[in-house]
Amino acid sequence: MDLFRELTAVSGEQNVLRNEPMSRHTTFRIGGPADYFVTPTDKEEIKKIIKFCREAQIPFYVIGNGSNLLVGDRGYRGVIIQIFKQMSKIDVDGEQIAAQAGALLSKVASAALDASLTGFEFASGIPGTLGGALRMNAGAYGGEMKQVVRSADVLTPDGEIITLTVDELGMGYRTSVISKNDYVVIDAILQLKKGNQEEIQAQMADLRERRVSKQPLEYGSAGSTFKRPEGYFAGKLIDDAGLRGFRVGDAQVSEKHCGFVINRGNATAAEVLELMRIVTERVEEKFGVRLQPEVRCIGE
């Protein structure tokens, strides 16, 4: 109760949940209860919550839309801090977009379209938030976040908010200084270019059609389950290993796109992890390539 009081004192009782099922907050639709689930409304609340957790040695984890996350079946012992709808403001100024970390990439893309700004079309179908996208330098169809971000405000483990330029963000394939140094994204400025609204809309529609036709969007998943090995494609390696459609319980290698592990309805985290283990071993046995998970795993 002391922890509950501390959290509600910072974020308000309406923004603190106890024993909250994480299956409600991940695109995998999998995960047991988090002891505490907090949705802060501004950067000061985030600072206070993290400072308290660190000083009290209480485990905590920051999430956005949960689009690249697998939570254990027994849940998470500690505090989940969700930066999402409560911090999703988007402002357009000329060729720049300033957005909070909880803004969905699809919403940012929509704002860019409305302002006839091009350069963000690649991200229009990625189901994550801006904060998560910057943390892992999310990308699709030849575009990636490092091409469009100008700067980001981040919270350091020491509780200081600093501004990092795109060069200082050190963005590489599915990595950045943010993930390496355990920073928390607060907001960012994106630099786009003026374009033709009809052409921008057409490109977004084309990418949407490609996603719908090639990806198993009708099922819960965390997107690409494995990182792309240098010189290979994870999905092709998995397919060539004879694992298309392979199942462990309700967890399955997608028949539509072998790079995705999907939840056919009632998959557990244990089933997903076992499937990932088998896939990793089979691919390594057959091709000598060890796949590395792209999805993040937390909890028990």
In this structure, the number of other CB atoms found within 10 A of the CB of residue 194 comes to 12
Q: Which residues contact 139 (CB under 8 A, 6 or more apart)?
A: 122, 145
b/e 91-115 (16+ beta carbons within 10 angstroms → b):
ebeebebbbbbbbbbbbbbebbbeb
* Distance of alpha carbon 134 from alpha carbon 148, whole angstroms: 10
Mapping DSSP to helix (H, G, I), strand (E, B) and coil, where does residue 38 land?
A: strand
Place of tokens 């998970």: 293
Q: Which residues contact 2 (CB under 8 A, 6 or more apart)?
A: none
In this structure, the number of other CB atoms found within 10 A of the CB of residue 85 comes to 13
Residues designated as active site: 174, 224, 294
| 272 backbone dihedrals φ, ψ, rounded to 5° | -65, -45
Q: Which residues pair with 89 in a beta bridge?
A: none
One-character DSSP codes across 152-201: EEEE-TTS-EEEEETTTTT-BTTB-HHHHTT-EEEEEEEE-EE--HHHHH
One-character DSSP codes across 81-132: EE-SGGG--EEEETTEEEEETTSBHHHHHHHHHHTTEES-GGGTT--SBHHH
Residue 69 identity (one-letter amino acid): L
Half-sphere exposure of 2 (CA within 13 A, CB side): 4
